[in-house]
A and B are shown apart, each in its own frame.
Chain A
Amino acid sequence: MAFKSILTTTTALALTAGTAMAQTEVQWWHAMGGTNGERVDKIAADFNATQSDYKVVPVYKGNYTETMTAAIAAFRAGEHPHLVQVFEVGTATMMAAKGAVYPVEQLMADAGEPFDKSDYLPAVISYYQTPEGELLSMPFNSSTPVLWYNADALEAAGVQPPKTWDEVKSAAKALVDNGMACGLSFGWQSWVMIENFGAWHNLETGTKENGFAGFDTEFTFNNEHVVARLADIASMSADKHFVYGGRRGDSLPLFTNGECGMWMNSSAYYGSIKGQAEFKFGQTMLPLDTNVADAPQNSIIGGATLWALAGHEAEEYKGLAKFMTYLSSAEVQAWWHQETGYVPITTAAAELSESQGFYEANPGTDTAIKQLSLNAPTPNSRGIRFGNFVQVRDVINEEMEALWAGDKTAQEAMDAAVKRGNELLRRFERSVK
């Protein structure tokens, strides 16, 4: 008996000694490949160098979809990481997974880590809050669509960077008349032309506050304003004033090799455009549709946030909380913002970039922040939260492609997208019941 208890004590001691010596590891799965992946590694390495108790281990898991699927599969197998990067359209899925997700605000409070939500840009964190205002995930890389333009081409055609859709149309015409292959193109069309067009003009994309107030939401983006705008753009394609160049960022070469003079897509393409374009380029705010609103509201974000997954040790979450504090510090955020073109998530980081003279040296790089913080977000411009939204975006892509190909009218395409999207919403509502 005595011997046995000595043995147990020794083992226990040995075990404690083992854990005390080793650093507590925090696994971070992310979807940042290439140069951004190296930047992620640098952030983790820098954090690890600041202290010796915790070690953040970043693991690249493929693109956004692959990373999310991998984390979900790992969760089902009980092998999930502490932190996973999930893109904004996965928000509803993550939110519905109560019990799998450890809300960030609660995590910071439990770990005793100081955390003040008011430090963050409202348009960024409003996207990831519950209707009650609890922050669920930590914003990391956020961007917003802007209008990119070829400054040389616009100048040659004798037009100013457009502010309204009427000006976009006349600028596109002037560019093509001046010998360009195409006037305007855009990518991520559901995000840019439906979700952000809605927010920018304070129109709802779906009922129940764009899905924030409940899973029983329905799409309403087949309204007259969206339909009229899309029909107008489709009519521009006859003379190549508008050219469709594929989903996501596939149309980037159209802009960077000088075929299209204007391109609407994420502000985070800054790095790519800077590297590829051999002309003077600029970015300006999204154009305003003067038939719909007198002034723009604010645009909504895209990109990804970091979600903590439940089911690990309290000590590990403590390390995670410290890492989050480090991650959102002004220095790290300003560096990340200036390197990548993603928006800084805190006001302090934006101010730091300002005082470092970044915006002065790179005019236009503050467009995204200006757009996001133009006005206090309304229920229509806070963001969107729809289930199965990855598929819904596919549906919208398909229907818009049918419109650009001339197979459907704008009204038909949007009606079909809403109908098919609503079916997916109902299926999601059932799956999370």
Chain B
Amino acid sequence: MLKRVHFSKTWLPFLLVAPQIIITLIFFIWPASQAVYQSFLIEDAFGLSTEFVWFENFEYLLADEIYLQSFGRTLFFSAAVAFLSMSLALILAAFADRVVRGATTYRTLLIWPYAVAPVLAGALWVFMFNPTLGIFPYFLEFVGVDWNHYLNGSQAMGLVIMAAAWKQIAYNFLFYLAAMQSIPKSIIEAGAIDGARPMRRFWTLVFPLVSPTTFFLLVINAVYAFFDTFGIIHAVTQGGPANSTTILVYKVFNDGFVGLDLGGSAAQSVILMLLVIVMTFIQFRYVENKVQY
């Protein structure tokens, strides 16, 4: 029988967790509670006149057609970014997994974009697709496409989706490659001996075996598309044209920091905060017990 060690009840455990608790309180709980409080106020920018209005900011938001459109747009954007970046990463990982010579070089090159800051990633795409100066609109003209994402909302949406997905491929690639390399070679070899061609082996063996990773990445990518794409959108379209790329997190910034409507902006961030909580819950509830590292 193993002997259990008993610590006497002293201040030591509290002291050891104190830094973490203090950091959480100062950097999360306190600002979050400020946001909740702010969301109940209608206030001028300087904070000179304040009115406590309970849920009026929320009522205003939920009656605002543009806010509701932004919700739908965010879902579409996230789904598109997650699908595009994950499927491309999966394909790249499948090929990189088979490469024998120079594998490290390929991998390094594929991981590079992850080190690019979102704003810079956005700036790259802005230059490539600038309707007047960019190289791609010039090529697109030959195939009869009139590219102007300053005017065409669908093109603008397509552009930010591409930029955001491109940035995330590297991250997804890393996880997929790791997952594929942890699949025992014997399983794949058994499939090969049974006469399965590479495509069939991929769909019937590899794809199901990396499915926990797929689920994990789905959540991560959704969170990424929801919150971390701010820099890309700010650099590429600034939410335009006609709000067609204004996703929720961009609207929080725009209404709060550009429009100086602090109450309305705080209410939006409270709604976003609830969304994060739901997503984190899903991740821990369903993903933790399925993924094995």
Residues of A within 8 A of B (CB): 65, 69, 72, 75-76, 93, 96-100, 244-247, 250, 253-254, 257, 259, 388, 390-391, 394, 397-399, 401-402, 404-405, 407, 427, 430-433
Which chain B residue has the least Cβ–Cβ distance from A100? B46
Report the Cα distance A430→B45, complex, angstroms. 12
Residues of A close to B49: CB separation below 8 A: 431-433
A388 nearest in chain B by CB position: B259
The smallest beta-carbon distance between A93 and chain B, in angstroms, is 6
> Are B241 and A69 closer than 8 Å at their CB atoms?
no
Docked complex Cα distance between A187 and B267 (Å): 33
Residues of B within 8 A of A388 (CB): 259-261
Distance from A133 Cβ to chain B, minimum over Cβ atoms (Å): 24
A330 to B49, CA, bound (A): 40
CB–CB A398/B243 < 8 A: yes
Q: Once the chains are docked, how many angstroms separate the CA of A405 from the CA of B48?
A: 41
State in angstroms the CA–CA spacing of A220 and B263 once bound together.
27
Within 8 A of A (CB), among B227-247: 238, 240-243
- Seed contacts A76-B47, A96-B44, A97-B46; 20 additional CB < 8 Å A-B pairs: A69-B257, A72-B46, A99-B46, A100-B46, A244-B148, A245-B150, A388-B259, A388-B261, A390-B258, A390-B259, A391-B255, A398-B240, A401-B151, A405-B151, A427-B42, A430-B51, A431-B42, A431-B49, A432-B49, A433-B51
- Determine the interface band of chain B, counting residues with CB < 8 A from chain A: 20 to 34
CB neighbours (8 Å) of B8 from chain A are none
Assess the A93–B241 pair: CB atoms within 8 A.
no
A69–B152 alpha-carbon span in the complex (Å): 30
Sorted nearest first, the 7 A-B pairs with minimum C-beta distance are A246-B150, A391-B259, A398-B242, A97-B46, A401-B241, A253-B132, A401-B242
Question: Closest CB-CB distance, A392 to chain B, in whole Å?
Answer: 9
Whether B51 pairs with A253 at a CB distance below 8 angstroms is no
Please name the residue on chain B nearest to A255 by beta carbon: B132
Proximity string of chain B (33-56) to chain A, C-beta cutoff 8 Å, 1 when within and 0 when not: 000000000111111110100000
A247 touches B240 (CB 8 A): yes
Say yes or no: A431-B43 contact (C-beta < 8 A), given A72-B260, A99-B48: yes
Identity of the chain B residue whose Cβ is nearest the Cβ of A431 in the assembled complex: B44
Partner of A75, one of B46, B240, B255: B46
CA A385 to CA B209, docked complex, whole Å = 63
**B153 CB-CB contact with A under 8 Å:** yes
Interface centre among A244, A404, A430 (most CB of B within 10 A): A430
Is B133 engaged at the interface, CB distance under 8 Å to the other chain? Answer: yes
CB-CB contacts of B138-182 with A at 8 A, as 1s and 0s? 000000000010111100000000000000000000000000000
By a CB distance below 8 angstroms, the chain B residues around A244 are 148, 150-151
Given A97-B48, A391-B261, are A405 and B240 neighbors across the interface (CB < 8 Å)?
A: no
Find chain B residues with CB under 8 A from A390 CB.
258-260
B240: chain A residues at CB < 8 Å are 247, 397-398, 401
| Shortest Cβ gap from A304 to chain B (Å) | 16
What is the CA–CA distance of A253 and B133 in the complex, to the nearest angstrom?
8
Chain B residues with CB under 8 Å of A99's CB are 46, 48
Instruction: Looking at the assembled complex, report how far the CB atom of A400 sits from the nearest CB atom of chain B, in whole angstroms.
Output: 9
Contact check: which of A65, A397, A407 meets B258 at CB < 8 Å?
A65
Q: Are B45 and A259 in contact (CB under 8 A)?
A: no
Most A CB contacts (10 A, CB to CB) among B45, B241, B257 go to B45
CB-defined contacts of B60 to chain A, threshold 8 Å: 427
Residue numbers in B under 8 Å from A398 (CB-CB):
240-243
Closest chain B residue, CB of each to CB of A404: B151
User: Please, how many angstroms separate the alpha-carbon atoms of A65 and B148 in the complex?
Assistant: 26
Structural contact, B153 and A405, CB atoms closer than 8 A: yes
Complex Cα gap A93–B49 (Å): 12
A75 to B260 CA separation, bound complex (whole angstroms) = 14
- For residue B147, give the distance in angstroms from its CB to the closest CB of chain A: 13
Q: What residues of B have a CB within 8 angstroms of the CB of A250 in the complex?
A: 150
Smallest Cβ distance from B168 to chain A, in angstroms? 27
Contact of B132 among A65, A72, A245 (CB under 8 A): A245
B132 touches A76 (CB 8 A): no
